[in-house]
Amino acid sequence: MLSRLADSLYWLSRFIERSETNARTLSSRLIHMLEESDQNTLNNDWEELLEICASKNEYYALYSRLNSEDVLDYLVRSPENENSLLQLLERSREKAKESRTLIPASIWEMINHLYLEKKEQLDGSLRSNTIQEDLGDILDMSSNFQGIIESSMLRGEAYNFIKIGKWIERAETTARILKVICEKTLVEKNNKDFQEFDYWLHALQLANGYDSFIMEHPLTLNPEEVFTFLIEEERFPRSITYCMNHTLLAVEQLNPGRSPQNTEELFQLLEYTQRGIERTDIAGMSVEELLRFLKGFQDHCDRIHEVFSAAYNLDGYKSRSVGNSQ
């Protein structure tokens, strides 16, 4: 397979996964905000959205204040934000077009149609009480994308490049969500009105893991159980462990005709990351320790992406400029 096609498949998968995450995060927080009247809490919610879906620092470089209209504009359609929903749809469309010979035709048609539709629909003023339908359409598109891939693609190189993009993006996303929640927990722990339960409930909702968690823990919502579930649960397809295991499996199944030494570092890095998680007592960690672990894991994700791109001659390393709130 040509490297440029492999690169398109890999990034197509990452962009689709990222658009789903950002749409779900925005949808969840908008629903939560309907029940909130305190302005300080609302501001914190907007900043949480920026930290998960984009970059708080880059937002403040463009906008002078924090309000719903500006945040929605930045997260939904701003051309200055490469991770705005409209930008992600456009980039997904570009990658789908480049790789049309390797993916089912219905994927290109679906992404192209949705992009053109949302580009027109999102051209007017944005309101938090009317945008849920648009977010739902993006979530449906991502689900349909995954369904088409699983039901109709040959299990070959193209399929595995798509799966690797998905698992790396998903592992990084789960780590980012937990990191943001840990940071908020540490900031608010001395607040007399602090409700730790709400923070970890939000973590499960943002990671799309609430229903699965409740099936295993129907009577409790302890922080230790939540972050153990989202990091170590081998049966949950958005846990960090699950994503790392499946990244390694997909890499093993690739057969790009490369000599073994080209991928040796990648295999070593993936196995080292797996062992690091296995040897860590996640349940026994304090929030401060968990935060350090998550920051270290995010560094590992960056390195995995860099080594993977070099091993398969993809179009270079480009880090995701999100979550850089520090």
Say how far apart CA 41 and CA 79 lie, in whole Å.
28
* CA–CA distance, 167 with 247 (Å, rounded to integer): 6
Q: Nearest Cα to 286, choosing from 189, 158, 162, 209?
A: 189
**What's the CA angle centered on 175, arms 181 and 214, to 5 degrees?**
70
pTM for this prediction = 0.91
CA dihedral 275, 281, 287, 293 (to 10 degrees): -10
Per-residue pLDDT of the chain (326 residues; tens, 9 = 90+): 789 999 999 999 999 999 999 999 999 888 877 766 666 666 778 888 999 999 999 999 999 888 888 999 999 999 999 999 999 999 999 999 999 999 999 999 999 999 999 999 888 778 777 899 999 999 999 999 999 999 999 999 999 999 999 999 999 999 999 999 999 888 877 666 666 778 888 899 999 999 999 999 987 788 889 999 999 999 999 999 999 999 999 999 985 555 556 788 899 999 999 999 999 999 999 999 999 999 999 999 999 999 999 988 887 434 443 334 33
Nearest to 249 by CA among 164, 169, 155, 306: 164
Q: What pLDDT, in 10s, does the model give residues 32-89?
A: 777 666 666 667 788 889 999 999 999 999 998 888 889 999 999 999 999 999 999 9
Q: Are 134 and 122 in contact (CB under 8 A)?
A: yes
Cα–Cα distance, 300 to 322 (Å, whole number) = 16
